[in-house]
């Protein structure tokens, strides 16, 4: 382990944090339990939630503290109550600690005091437990629906255990079920963006309230792609199978999710992963970062009409995709990570392939960066646009390049060393400006860092097994697994269950923490930059929203017959 | 010098490591159902018909997520990932492969067992020669669960009777 | 000039005006593709696209007549603008004061675009129309002043006659620069293609057009680009050869050189487009305002006889 990693994961450092919290809230804490190496669960009463969480998150000396995830679970079959856990992490290279602040909520009184007024980053989480479990955050400033569709009936909570995963309640789309968008501020017009928009790539609906071309305010509606993956994971799939579904949460950062899930289960079940597997995981995660950042930088160029930069970035990226294909069998959804290790080894010929590709990539990328940054029109479009202040980034618990571009110095690879990162050296680029350009620069530097990480990992990779045997995972263990996806920290929480199945699985993709900050970055900018700003966050909708085709009006799934379809397209194309 | 190709007018070959569309070789499949249990996406189904005495292993490529779990689980190498990646079709049925196998029939009572003839054959094949009570196992293996239990009970009763006498 | 030459060249002119622009567009697309190391669509792709559009029935988002007429207005205006320019030694339509007509019909194309954009209750088309208006208001004066400077020098109010009479002075050279700039901006090439920006506002007004109306509108804009560049190319090529070219053969020579310059211009524009990102509207306006001040200075220079 490198010196820096030893410092961060030092037992004494961890204890200092934990002890301070225990000291301070001695009379409020019901139970403290250490779930895993770096994870402490602290049970308190629900009335104390805002105070305890506010204290940890807004602690003046613990700088990059943040709400990593929040989990609501239906533990009625176990304890007769619902539970909530706010997972708060210490970051900024100042100690490797996760606090799980847990509380139980009874069914007759499903209310709890909202933390959002103290820490806006809890906004979505609390709305989500309201939607899916029926737990009511009291004092929440924006209690509108978040996850469930507009026409989902009141009082049906899909994540409760008495809701079977194949259930489909009757839905009716009426005027009353229409989503209550905020009233446009006086003197503004509504500029709708999406749900389907060429430059958004995925469905998400924005309402930009504009004066002329200036964005005054923003409202949005997301979760068009909520697939109920968590529910399937808890009901239909075995531990091993979940891994592959987890990987398909996202088409870009699948490995980050698969890894976060595997690490969560490994932490809960005490599975030791062989060192070689850790290295392979690291290399795969970095290869994924390479392609994802190249994609995002390319799209940034595309969004401002600079197609040369776009195509060049994609050409570079293609070599990374081909490399992944040779290493794992596919361009994306590598299917490498399984609980206990990885599936394919890096044979010698594959190793030399990696070396060749990243060597060429470094050269090619440097050229690309020079060319793009010397394109004045491109820089002019990105500079000073979409500024997210440090304060806003922090109050929304933002992560990844989106936060690092605003001066937040946090990176799960360094702050909570997982996989083989603890054996490697790398920098975490941070920029203070908070504009689109800063985020592009963070990504550009990270690409070079990733190449460097891969090189080190290949050099230092030990021999040995790549997959640990594991027999049984003890039931009802809780843990979180975390990775630094290209877009920021991904956190998976698991509570193990019986019969080789999960009891509760909570996925938190990085975009989930980044998105709510978007309106802050967009206000005051021009409509022309809206898409660019959204893209600079590198949103990943399906990640965030974790399918079927339903007609919103009739609630029916309608499939066109082949004849109808041909008929329709013929009509459309020839106007007969 | 363009880097793009005139695809689909030129053929593209996937690399040897490629995990493409899975395919079942019906001659090798013994209908054990291991792949069905492994599949995370429910792309593989096992449908038994005890009236007609058939088992269908159904692979729906349209649901498949190309994870290759089935490939790893299959004891005979019947289901394999191919290097084919072009699945566009006008007929959804092109995505479905069905292997139909006969279920083994218990020679004693005549009802169908929950394993196929081929699975039994295979099991008997891999039974090592000269095993201690090999014949005994062979005799029992071909019976259905009920008859096997009955035989075991009968044997036990007989044995105890012998002891008593 | 013989009547036959007139008829022959006018015929060629009409053919060029109508059928060359899609080819130019196809060439530009191919060049961009090559710069981006792509195969790119066939050079004739824009023709195929046009034929497809023209064979399709449009969908009408509104009942307003303005919406239906706008593409035709744009088309007619663009063609008229191109007709007052010289092809060889022939100017198909020429009369004193056609300078103003040229500027006027050119503006009409933009105005048709704006009419279409404002005829709908759609923020995308409105924004597109708005942007078109701002760009037009900021660049047309520059174009006007540049042509005016040249007209002053050439002592003619026939736009097609200017290149045959212009003499080179400092102000004329500067006016050429301004002309090139305004042609580029008015043509809506990247970084100035904000009115039809695809990623930002879904191609503005075009987001509501379909079928043959879309085809005609797109065609009109291509012809407008052609007219603008033909203007520039004539102003460059004719002074080069006007002394040696006489008779029908001379006319043919001029036409060939005009065409060559046109292709050259189009090619360089495609290269510039590839190397740039789109600017924001207020950045463009600021820049154009600066250029406008320069163009007044140039006019003053010309008036002083420099
Ligand atoms: S590849 Fe995976 S999803 Fe596809 S059939 Fe096999 S196990 Fe199922
Ligand atoms: S695992 Fe192999 S042998 Fe068994 S049913 Fe599947 S394909 Fe057939």
A210 contact residues in C (CB cutoff 8 A): 123
- Is A534's Cβ below 8 Å from some Cβ in B? no
B2 contact residues in C (CB cutoff 8 A): 33-34, 37-40
Query: Among the listed ranges A254-258, A418-422, C240-244, which one has the minimum average pLDDT value?
Result: C240-244
Residue tagged 């998150």 (tokens): A57
Query: Could you tell me the residue ranges of all domains in chain B?
Result: 21-164
Q: Does pLDDT of C91 surpass 50?
A: yes
Q: Does pLDDT of C244 surpass 50?
A: yes
pLDDT tens track for C198-221:
666 677 778 788 888 889 988 998
Do A293 and A424 lie in a common domain? Answer: yes
Residue B94 CA, ligand 1 centroid: distance in Å:
17
- Residue A285 in contact with residue A483, Cβ under 8 Å? yes
- Is B1's Cβ below 8 Å from some Cβ in C? yes
Q: How far apart are the CA of A533 and the nearest CA of chain C, in angstroms? A: 11
Residue tagged 């019947």 (tokens): B78
pLDDT tens track for A93-108:
788 888 888 899 888 8
Residue A507 three-state SS:
strand
Do A131 and A277 lie in a common domain? Answer: no
Q: Does pLDDT of A475 surpass 80?
A: yes
| Burial label, B140 (beta-carbon count in 10 A; 0-12, 13-18, 19+) | middle
Of the residues B26, B27, B30, B115, which should be mutated to test ligand 2's pocket, given the most ligand atoms within 8 Å of the CB? B30
Residue B81 CA, ligand 1 centroid: distance in Å:
9
Instruction: Using CB atoms, list chains with 3+ pairs below 8 Å to chain B.
Output: A, C
Percent of chain A with pLDDT over 90: 5
CB contact set of C93 (below 8 Å; sequence gap of 6+):
C80, C83, C84
Per-residue pLDDT band at A500 (split at 50, 70, 90) = confident
pLDDT reported for residue B22? 92
SS3 of A253-307: the string is CHHHHHHHHHHHHHHHHCCCCCHHHHHHHHHHHHHHHHHHHHHHHHHHHHHCCCH
Cβ within 8 Å, pair B3-C34: no
pLDDT reported for residue A566? 44
Residue B38 CA, ligand 1 centroid: distance in Å:
8
Residue B99 CA, ligand 2 centroid: distance in Å:
10
Cβ within 8 Å, pair A380-C279: yes
Cβ within 8 Å, pair B17-A242: no
Q: Which sign, positive or negative, has the C-alpha torsion A434, A440, A446, A448?
A: negative
B4 contact residues in C (CB cutoff 8 A): 37-39
- Is A326's Cβ below 8 Å from some Cβ in B? yes
SS3 of chain C: the string is CCHHHHHHHHHHHHHHHHHHHHHHHHHHHHHHHHHCCCCCCCCCHHHHHHHHHHCCCCCCCCCCHHHHHHHHHHHHHHHHHHHCCCECCECCCCCCCHHHHHHHHHHHHHHHHHHHHHCCCCHHHHHHHHHHHHHHHHHHHHHHHHHHHHHHHHCCCCHHHHHHHCCCCHHHHHHHHHHHHHHHHHCCCCCCCHHHCHHHHCCHHHHHCCHHHHHHHHHHHHHHHHHHHHHHHHHHHHHHHCCCCCHHHHHHHHHHHHHHHHHHHHHHHHHHHHCCCCCCHHHHHHHHHHHHHHHHHHHHHHHCCC
CB contact set of A56 (below 8 Å; sequence gap of 6+):
A21, A62, A65, A88, A99, A101
Question: Which of A449, A369, A357 minimizes the C-alpha distance to A401?
Answer: A449
Residue A199 maps to a domain: no
List of long-range contacts for B126-130, beta carbons under 8 Å, 24+ apart: none
Helices (H), chain B: 34-38, 69-73, 117-126, 134-141, 145-164
Residue B122 CA, ligand 2 centroid: distance in Å:
12
- Is C155's Cβ below 8 Å from some Cβ in A? no
Residue of B nearest to A322 (CA): B15
Per-residue pLDDT band at A20 (split at 50, 70, 90) = confident
pLDDT reported for residue B4? 83
Residue B13 CA, ligand 2 centroid: distance in Å:
27
Residue of B nearest to C30 (CA): B2
Last residue of a domain, one of A144, A161, A191: A144
Mean pLDDT to the nearest integer, A16-21: 86
pLDDT tens track for B98-138:
988 888 888 888 888 888 888 888 888 877 776 667 677 77
pLDDT tens track for B50-106:
888 889 889 999 889 888 889 988 988 889 999 888 888 888 888 888 988 888 888
Q: Which sign, positive or negative, has the C-alpha torsion A461, A462, A463, A469?
A: negative
Do A242 and A107 lie in a common domain? Answer: no
Q: Which residues have CB under 6 Å of ligand 2?
A: B 24, 29-35, 57, 73-74, 76, 78-79
Question: Which of C306, C162, C132 minimizes the C-alpha distance to C224?
Answer: C132
- Which has more confidence, A425 or C165? A425
pLDDT reported for residue A550? 32
Cβ within 8 Å, pair B4-C34: no
SS3 of A430-498: the string is CCCCCCHHHHHHHHHHHHHHHHHHHHHHHHHCCCCCCECCCCCCCCCCEEEEEEEECCEEEEEEEEECC
Query: Could you tell me the residue ranges of all domains in chain C?
Result: 3-303
- Which has more confidence, A167 or A71? A71
pLDDT tens track for A131-158:
888 888 888 888 888 888 888 888 888 8
pLDDT reported for residue A199? 61
Total domains in the fold of chain A: 2
- Residue A387 in contact with residue A480, Cβ under 8 Å? no
Residue A220 maps to a domain: no
- Which has more confidence, C112 or A560? C112
Ligand 1: residue whose CA is nearest its atom 8? B39
Q: How far is CA C279 from CA A537, C133, C226, C273, C283, in A?
A: 21, 16, 23, 12, 6
Per-residue pLDDT band at C197 (split at 50, 70, 90) = low
Do A112 and A256 lie in a common domain? Answer: no
Q: Which atom of ligand 2 lies at the shortest distance from residue B33's CA?
A: 5
Q: Which domain holds residue A116?
A: 3-144
Q: Which residues have CB under 6 Å of ligand 1?
A: B 22, 38-39, 41, 43-44, 59, 64-70
pLDDT reported for residue A559? 41
Q: CB-CB: which of A243, A335, A562 is closest to B90?
A: A562
Residue A149 maps to a domain: no
Cβ within 8 Å, pair B4-C39: yes
CATH number at residue A40: 3.30.460.80
Mean pLDDT to the nearest integer, C26-51: 88
pLDDT reported for residue B130? 67
- Which has more confidence, A573 or A413? A413
Do A300 and A401 lie in a common domain? Answer: yes
Question: Which of C110, C52, C68 minimizes the C-alpha distance to C227?
Answer: C110
pLDDT tens track for A293-314:
998 888 888 888 788 888 889 9
Interface test with C, best of A192, A527, A532, A569 (most C CBs within 10 A): A527
C193 contact residues in A (CB cutoff 8 A): 305
pLDDT reported for residue C198? 65
Percent of chain A with pLDDT over 70: 93
A205-211, strands of its sheet edge to edge:
A189-193, A205-211, A214-221
pLDDT reported for residue A242? 87
Quickly name the fold that domain B21-164 has. Answer: Alpha-Beta Plaits (3.30.70)
Please state the pTM of the whole predicted model: 0.82
Residue A476 maps to a domain: yes
Q: How far apart are the CA of A491 and the nearest CA of chain B, in angstroms? A: 22
Question: Which ligand sits nearest to residue B73's alpha carbon?
Answer: 2
Q: Which sign, positive or negative, has the C-alpha torsion A427, A432, A433, A434?
A: positive
Q: CB-CB: which of C123, C274, C283 is closest to A307?
A: C274
Residue A334 CA, ligand 1 centroid: distance in Å:
14
Ligand 2: residue whose CA is nearest its atom 6? B35
Question: Which ligand sits nearest to residue B76's alpha carbon?
Answer: 2
pLDDT tens track for A407-444:
888 888 888 888 888 898 888 899 988 888 899 899 99
């Amino acid at each position: 382990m490198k010196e820096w990693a030893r410092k961060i994961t030092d037992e004494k450092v961890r204890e200092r944090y934990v002890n301070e919290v225990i000291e301070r809230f001695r009379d409020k804490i019901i139970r403290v339990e250490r779930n895993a190496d770096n994870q402490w669960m602290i049970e308190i009463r629900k009335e104390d939630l805002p105070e305890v969480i506010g204290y940890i998150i807004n602690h003046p000396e613990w700088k990059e503290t943040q709400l990593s995830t929040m989990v609501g679970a239906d533990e009625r079959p176990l304890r007769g109550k619902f539970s909530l856990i706010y997972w708060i992490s210490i970051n900024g290279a100042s100690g490797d600690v996760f606090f799980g602040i847990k509380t139980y909520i009874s069914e007759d009184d499903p209310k709890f005091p909202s933390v959002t007024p103290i820490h806006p980053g809890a906004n979505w989480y609390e709305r989500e437990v309201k939607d899916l479990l029926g737990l009511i955050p009291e004092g929440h400033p924006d209690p509108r629906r978040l996850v469930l569709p507009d026409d989902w009936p009141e009082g049906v909570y899909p994540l409760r255990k008495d809701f079977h995963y194949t259930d489909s309640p009757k839905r009716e789309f009426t005027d009353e079920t229409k989503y209550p968008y905020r009233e446009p501020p006086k003197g503004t017009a509504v500029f709708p963006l999406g749900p389907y928009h060429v430059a958004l790539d995925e469905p998400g609906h924005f309402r930009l309230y504009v004066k002329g071309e200036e964005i005054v305010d923003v409202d949005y509606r997301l979760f068009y792609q909520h697939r109920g993956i968590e529910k399937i994971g808890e009901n239909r799939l075995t531990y091993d199978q979940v891994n592959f579904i987890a990987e398909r949460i996202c088409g870009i950062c699948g490995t980050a999710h698969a890894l976060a899930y595997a690490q969560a289960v490994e932490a809960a079940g005490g599975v030791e992963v062989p060192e070689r597997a850790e290295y392979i995981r690291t290399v795969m995660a970095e290869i994924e970062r390479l392609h994802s950042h190249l994609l995002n930088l390319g799209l940034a160029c595309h969004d401002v009409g600079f197609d040369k930069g776009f195509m060049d970035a994609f050409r570079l990226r293609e070599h990374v995709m081909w490399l992944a294909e040779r290493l794992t069998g596919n361009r994306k959804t590598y299917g490498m990570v399984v609980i206990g290790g990885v599936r394919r080894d890096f044979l010698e010929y594959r190793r030399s392939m990696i070396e060749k590709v990243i060597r060429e990539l470094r050269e090619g990328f440097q050229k690309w960066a020079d060319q793009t940054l010397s394109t004045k029109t491109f820089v002019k479009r990105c500079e000073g646009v979409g500024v997210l202040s440090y304060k806003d980034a922090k109050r929304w618990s933002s992560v990844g390049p989106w936060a690092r571009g605003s001066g937040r110095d946090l990176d799960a690879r360094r702050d909570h060393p997982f996989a083989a990162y603890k054996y490697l050296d790398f920098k975490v680029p941070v920029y203070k400006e908070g504009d689109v350009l800063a985020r592009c620069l963070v990504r550009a530097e990270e690409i070079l860092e990733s190449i460097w990480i891969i090189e080190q990992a290949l050099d230092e990779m030990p021999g040995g097994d790549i997959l640990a045997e594991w027999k049984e995972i003890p039931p009802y263990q809780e843990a979180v697994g975390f990775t630094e996806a290209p877009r920021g920290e991904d956190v998976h929480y698991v509570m193990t269950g019986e019969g080789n199945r999960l009891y509760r699985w909570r996925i938190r993709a990085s975009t989930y923490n980044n998105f709510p900050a978007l309106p802050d970055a967009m206000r005051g900018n021009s409509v022309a930059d809206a898409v660019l700003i959204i893209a600079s966050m590198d949103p990943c909708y399906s990640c965030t929203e974790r399918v079927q085709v339903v007609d919103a009006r009739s609630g029916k799934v309608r499939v066109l017959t082949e004849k109808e379809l041909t008929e329709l397209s013929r009509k459309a194309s020839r106007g007969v | 010098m363009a880097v793009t190709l005139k695809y689909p007018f030129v053929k593209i070959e996937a690399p040897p490591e490629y995990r493409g569309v899975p395919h079942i070789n019906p001659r090798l499949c013994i209908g054990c159902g291991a792949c069905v249990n492994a599949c995370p996406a429910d792309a593989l189904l096992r449908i038994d018909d005890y009236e007609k005495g058939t088992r269908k292993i159904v692979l729906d490529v349209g649901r498949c997520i190309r994870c290759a779990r089935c490939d790893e689980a299959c004891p005979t190498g019947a289901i394999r990932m191919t290097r084919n990646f072009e699945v566009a079709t006008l007929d959804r049925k092109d995505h479905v492969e069905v292997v139909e196998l006969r279920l083994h029939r218990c020679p004693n009572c005549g009802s169908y067992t929950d394993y196929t003839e081929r699975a039994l054959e295979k099991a008997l094949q891999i039974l090592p020669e000269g095993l201690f009570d090999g014949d005994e196992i062979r005799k029992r293996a071909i019976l259905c669960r009920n008859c096997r239990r009955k035989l075991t009970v009968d044997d036990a009763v007989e044995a105890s009777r012998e002891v008593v006498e | 000039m013989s009547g036959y030459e007139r008829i022959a060249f006018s015929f060629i002119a009409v053919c060029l005006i109508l059928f060359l622009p899609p080819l130019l567009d196809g060439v530009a697309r191919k060049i961009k593709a090559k710069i981006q190391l792509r195969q790119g669509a066939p050079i004739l792709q824009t023709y195929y696209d046009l034929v497809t559009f023209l064979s399709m029935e449009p969908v009408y988002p509104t009942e307003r007549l303005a919406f239906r007429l706008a593409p035709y207005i744009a088309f007619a205006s663009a063609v008229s603008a191109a007709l007052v320019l010289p092809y060889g030694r022939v100017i198909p339509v020429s009369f004193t004061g056609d300078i103003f007509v040229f500027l006027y019909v050119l503006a009409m194309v933009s105005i048709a675009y704006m009419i279409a954009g404002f005829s709908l209750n759609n923020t995308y088309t409105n924004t597109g129309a708005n942007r078109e208006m701002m760009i037009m208001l900021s660049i047309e004066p520059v174009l006007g002043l540049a042509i005016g400077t040249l007209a002053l020098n050439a002592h003619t109010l026939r736009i097609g006659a200017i290149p045959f009479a212009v003499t080179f002075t400092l102000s004329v050279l500067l006016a050429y620069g301004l002309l090139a700039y305004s042609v580029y901006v008015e043509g809506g090439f990247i970084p100035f293609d904000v009115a039809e920006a695809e990623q930002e506002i879904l191609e503005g007004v075009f987001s509501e057009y379909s079928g043959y109306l879309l085809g005609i509108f797109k065609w009109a804009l291509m012809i407008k680009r052609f007219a603008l560049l033909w203007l520039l190319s004539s102003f460059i090529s004719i002074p080069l050869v006007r002394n040696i070219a006489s008779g029908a053969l001379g006319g043919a020579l001029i036409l060939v050189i005009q065409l060559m310059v046109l292709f050259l211009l189009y090619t360089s524009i495609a290269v510039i487009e590839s190397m740039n990102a789109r600017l924001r509207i207020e950045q463009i306006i600021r820049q154009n305002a600066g250029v406008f001040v320069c163009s007044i200075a140039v006019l003053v220079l010309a008036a002083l006889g420099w």
